[in-house]
Structure 1
């Protein structure tokens, strides 16, 4: 089940979205059958990520909210942060920017699995939502902080953040 969920994440990165959803679903079914609550939560997270990548934000939100509930019930604060980040991404994809901003801010407050790199990704998403909400100054502040982290680590995501900053500077 773990291998299937991890493979699902790889398929998302490769753009193989149908198989990503299928693989995460298979992993979830195994964990669910075994009654492994925390693993079920992680599998729901993987399925939610795959569904969101496949453009199915409504279904993704169902899985992600259930994962969040399970992480909360089991006092898994770092995983709560990660689930909130993924919920923010799904709300953003669905055009629900205020909800996306709220969950991104919650992810930052709780911290997220993935350290500084993931924190920079959350800041990037928060910046995107704030920009859509007309809060350009706050968006730029998020992007500047995200860019600094991505540049420090040499992450490829730095270029995307630079593009966001250029677009808002031109506006």
Structure 2
């Protein structure tokens, strides 16, 4: 929780600077990023308040990046409140806004949480579809850490579908990518492979 608390503090300061400089674009993005951190901390009411402000600003200036990040914030709040369908809707809106703004990698950022939501709703086939669509994009844009995370989630979804060999292949590839980093997701993959 310490990392989330630090993020909230830093993002609150960034928002204050953006507002002091009268920069609606920076303020819209800061609201969205702060909403994500607040949502992850379980501060749903506060997160939703920032999403409302951030979306208003972003729509006023036609900032698709601000719209995308605020929908990610809305998804974080919905996740924490247990409304997975609302989270999915927000994630899809985020991805759409990023694609419209010409930011395909950011559109794929929603994939992680979208896969988690589909799995939590007992829809692993949709989680696999999302992961398999996002993985080539991450690879083409040379983002190995996000590719490793997607592979870890794909392994979980394949397990849900009763495909242990496919799951194992995904986890082995994820381990090859995430292994050098001391990340919780990498350690989880290693446990699934029986390495740790």
Same fold at TM > 0.5: yes
When normalised by structure 1's length, the TM-score is 0.82
Task: Map 1:42-53; keep pairs closer than 5 Å.
Answer: 42-53=69-80
When normalised by structure 2's length, the TM-score is 0.73
SS in 2 for 1:157: helix
Decide whether aligned partners of structure 1 residues 12 and 160 sit closer, same or farther in structure 2, where only a CA change above 3 A counts.
farther
Task: Map 1:141-160; keep pairs closer than 5 Å.
Answer: 141-160=169-188
Unaligned runs of 5+ in 1: none
Unaligned runs of 5+ in 2: 1-27
The Cα RMSD (Å) is: 2.5
SS in 1 for 2:193: helix
Task: Map 1:77-116; keep pairs closer than 5 Å.
Answer: 77-111=104-138, 115-116=143-144
CA distance in 2, matches of 1:140, 1:161: 10
Decide whether aligned partners of structure 1 residues 26 and 37 sit closer, same or farther in structure 2, where only a CA change above 3 A counts.
same
Decide whether aligned partners of structure 1 residues 101 and 22 sit closer, same or farther in structure 2, where only a CA change above 3 A counts.
farther
Check conservation: 2:54, 2:66, Cα contact below 8 A: no
SS in 1 for 2:102: coil
Match of residue 193, structure 2, among 129, 146, 165 = 165
Deviates more, 1:23-32 or 1:90-99: 23-32
Aligned length: 167
1:120 corresponds to = 148
Deviation at 1:24, TM superposition (A): 3.1
